[in-house]
Amino acid sequence: MLDARLRQLIDPALNRAATRLARAGITANQVTITGFVIGMLAIPLLAVEDYAAALLCILLNRLTDGLDGALARKTEPTDFGGFLDITLDFIFYSGVVFGFCLGNPAEAIYGAFLIFAFIGTGSSFLAYSALAAKRGITTEIRGLKSIYYLGGLTEGFETLLTLCLICLLPEYFAIIATVFGSMCWVTTATRIWVAANTLR
């Protein structure tokens, strides 16, 4: 919901950092993979309830997620890079929830609901993107992307905020997961509505 507006604030800093990385010969895919590995470290950390360290891994993962796109635009963006970026993002999001459930099995039902909701947002996002490409529908409202980004109530910023809240307020996980999961289903429903009006 807020991604397009926030990009205007963070893109200048990301572009400056990307320029330095490009000069050092670092590729966007290297940044993507490095960020993913760091993000995956949150799973065992959440499993042992080290929420502060897990939060750091989550924030570093999201930083690299912004950097890889900026770096790709300064070098040579590839279809594989776009594929890798979005695939690892969805694995990371679900991985954080899975890690929390490992450490708190009594809360696993709420984690399952949240991952269930991620399936709705992820599948509707990717399906629309594929069909938008087929029809030549494009947008740069969220910056130049390798695939079409259909927005919604829950986007990258809202997801990041939720993952941070899970680490900062683990005792409220059930509420956080229920509220955000419900918001994800609203996003899925609105994307279906958009598809019904644009893809017929």
pLDDT, position 137 = 74
pLDDT, position 65 = 92
| Domains of the chain: residue spans and CATH | 3-198 (1.20.120.1760)
pLDDT tens-place string over residues 29-78 = 999 999 999 999 999 999 999 999 999 999 999 999 999 988 988 887 78
Say which residue, 186 or 16, is predicted with more confidence. 186
Dihedral sign for Cα 66, 93, 122, 29, please.
positive
Q: Is 89 a catalytic residue?
A: yes
pLDDT tens-place string over residues 1-15 = 655 666 666 777 888
Go through the chain and tell me how many residues it has.
Answer: 200
Overall average pLDDT of the 166-193 stretch: 97
Active-site residue (options: 3, 68, 85, 89) = 89
Task: Write the CA distances from 28 to 64, 171, 193, integer angstroms.
Answer: 9, 37, 34
Judge whether residue 145 has pLDDT over 80. Answer: no
Averaged confidence pLDDT in the chain: 89
Cα 166 versus chain centre, distance = 15
| pTM summary value | 0.87
Overall average pLDDT of the 9-30 stretch: 84
